[in-house]
Amino acid sequence: MSAFQTSPGTRDILPPESARFRRFVDVFADLVEAAGYGLIIPPMFEDLGVFQRLGEATDVVTKEMYAFADRGGRQLALRPEQTASVVRAFVQHRPPTPWKAWYAGPNFRQERAQRGRYRQFDQVGIEILGADDPYLDVEVIALGWRFYAALGLRQVTLLLNSLGEPDDRARYTAALAAHFEANLDALSAESQQTLQRNPLRVLDSKRAQDAEIVAGAPHIADFYSDAAAAHFAAVQDGLGALDIPFVLDSKLVRGLDYYRRTTFEYQGATLDSAQNALGGGGRYDGLAEDLGGPATPGIGFALGVDRTLLACDDEGVFGPPPHAVDVFVVDTTGGREALMITDEVRAAGLRADRAYENRSMKSQMKAADRSGAAIAVLVGSDELAAGTVTVRPLRGDGEQRAVPRNELTSHLRKLLS
């Protein structure tokens, strides 16, 4: 074993695995940029206070945050998610609204590591600040839905809920607390603790012992104000108009405290329940104000990259990794020709690789095979003297032939098309 290994909950993502990662982000970027979202790259650490605004009742903040003091005594934290950073950036820079931003990158939470749950994990997401329109909620939810389809993932379920306006949510939370207090002895020890921090989160309990009491809990729908009910009805109507199927789930409260009105989650059917949430989001109209800005409506989602890729594997979404290069240059004259030919072929837009250290022909041909290249370009002293190269197809049954050096790239292009 080497002296150093990745620390718990972190991983190296190596090729060819990493190619799927990139594909994920590329598909996402194309989709959201075509919908008017611009890339934001916030820092990976910020003032601790930015994240504390996410709520004292959330595990992400109280139990899982990588918080530290730097050498200047500043209280900082690695970001556990990016919504708070995006909203902080909005408050700091005050761009014109509606402000539509997308992001991709790692977050850090000190969780109990397991399959699909890591301490450093990647998310992509979008946020829109400054528009309060139920059809915007629909646009956001639909973009996530379309993204999974574009990626090729089929077995996704959309769960939808509304937490009502802040007053509705407060009255509901009080009613929930009363219900769980009345049944305290029957609740699991874990849920009794959760109840002290955040009664809403007891609804998330997956423990069999809690099932009956959770099932008998009051429903948020009975607490909606007229405005909240109308907003939620419009969201459902809009999803219907776009033919996006959803399942109403009154227990969907999601982890973070700042959500109000619309909340949603995408679940992968092939994953087990501890990590079947592929992504989710909701409205967070109060967050900009909490971060010292003007009252500004906001909505967005975050999609987990790692977990979605696990679901993709389960569905066999990705084929074998693409061949790394098109052309492999084998040069037995010292390597200078290979240097020039790979440079030229790459400049022509083809993917090219070569061997180094002036190895034997046999060893270079082995490397060519391993590279997955479709074509080998061979240069020996005869070719060098004649101003030609030998082009040898490595797959299929094409014949090898000598090609004038100055016709190489056009010849390769023809062969590869």
278 binds ligand AMP (CB under 6 A): yes
3-state secondary structure of 383: helix
Nearer to ligand AMP, 137 or 383 (CB): 137
Residue 231: CB minimum distance to ligand AMP, A: 21
Buried b (16+ CB within 10 A) or exposed e, 394-411: beeeeeeeebebeebbeb
C-alpha triplet 20, 376, 350: angle, nearest 5°? 50
- Does residue 304 bind ligand AMP (CB under 6 A)? yes
Supply 160's token pair: 């939808």
Q: Summarize the chain as % helix, strand, coil (round to 5).
A: 40, 20, 35
Closest CB to ligand AMP among residues 116, 298: 116
DSSP 116: T
**Residue 306 binding ligand AMP, by CB under 6 A:** yes
Q: Does the footprint of ligand AMP cover residue 117 (CB under 6 A)?
A: yes
Q: Which residue's CB is nearer to ligand AMP, number 279 or number 286?
A: 279
Residues 230 to 259 in contact with ligand AMP, rule: CB under 6 A? 255
Nearest Cα residue to 266 out of 161, 162, 163, 156: 156
Contact call for residue 123 and ligand AMP (CB under 6 A): yes
Binding of ligand AMP by 309 (CB under 6 A): no
Specify the 3-state DSSP secondary structure of 396. Answer: coil
CB of 395 to ligand AMP, least distance (A): 38
Contact status: 121 vs ligand AMP (CB under 6 A): yes
* Between 279 and 297, CB nearer to ligand AMP: 279
- Residues 232 and 238: their CA atoms lie apart, in Å, by 10
Supply the minimum distance, in Å, between the C-beta of residue 272 and ligand AMP.
13
In the complex, residue closest to ligand AMP by CB: 304
- Would you say 127 or 306 has its CB closer to ligand AMP? 306
Element (H, E) at 212: helix 211-215
Pair of tokens at residue 20 = 């799927």
Q: Is 288 helix (H, G, I), strand (E, B) or coil?
A: helix
- Judged by beta carbon, residue 86 or residue 302, the one nearer ligand AMP is 302
DSSP string, 121-162: EEEEEEEEES---HHHHHHHHHHHHHHHHHHT---EEEEEEE
Residue found under tokens 């290249």 = 373
Closest to ligand AMP by CB, 81 vs 139, is 81
Strands (DSSP E) found in 43-110 = 45-47, 67-69, 75-78, 99-108
Which region, judged by CB under 6 A, interacts with ligand AMP, from 96-104, 189-197, 278-286, 323-331? 278-286
Report how many residues bind ligand AMP under the rule CB under 6 A.
17
* Cβ count within 10 A of residue 382: 12
Q: How far apart are CA 313 and CA 116, in angstroms?
A: 12
Q: Which of 134, 144, 199, 280 binds ligand AMP (CB under 6 A)?
A: 280
Select the residue interacting with ligand AMP from 79, 307, 351, 354 (CB under 6 A).
307
Q: Which of residues 42, 81, 90, 408 is near ligand AMP by CB under 6 A? A: 81
| Minimal distance, residue 417 CB to ligand AMP, in Å | 40
Question: CA-to-CA distance for 298 and 349, rounded, in angstroms?
Answer: 42
* Residue 118 found at the interface with ligand AMP (CB under 6 A): yes
Strand order in the sheet with 67-69: 45-47, 75-78, 67-69
Q: Between residues 287 and 338, which has the closer beta carbon with respect to ligand AMP?
A: 287
Q: Which of residues 128-167 bind ligand AMP (CB under 6 A)?
A: none
Compute the least distance from the CB of residue 254 to ligand AMP, in Å. Answer: 6
Is 277 among the residues that bind ligand AMP (CB under 6 A)?
Answer: yes
- DSSP 8-state code for residue 355: -
CA distance from start to end of the chain: 46
Residue of 55, 134, 199, 279 that binds ligand AMP (CB under 6 A) = 279
Pick out residues in 96-115 that bind ligand AMP (CB under 6 A): 109, 111
Closest CB to ligand AMP among residues 306, 331: 306
According to the binding rule CB under 6 A, does residue 61 interact with ligand AMP? Answer: no
Closer CB to ligand AMP, residue 299 or residue 376?
299
Binding site for ligand AMP (CB under 6 A): 81, 109, 111, 116-118, 121, 123, 255, 277-280, 302, 304, 306-307
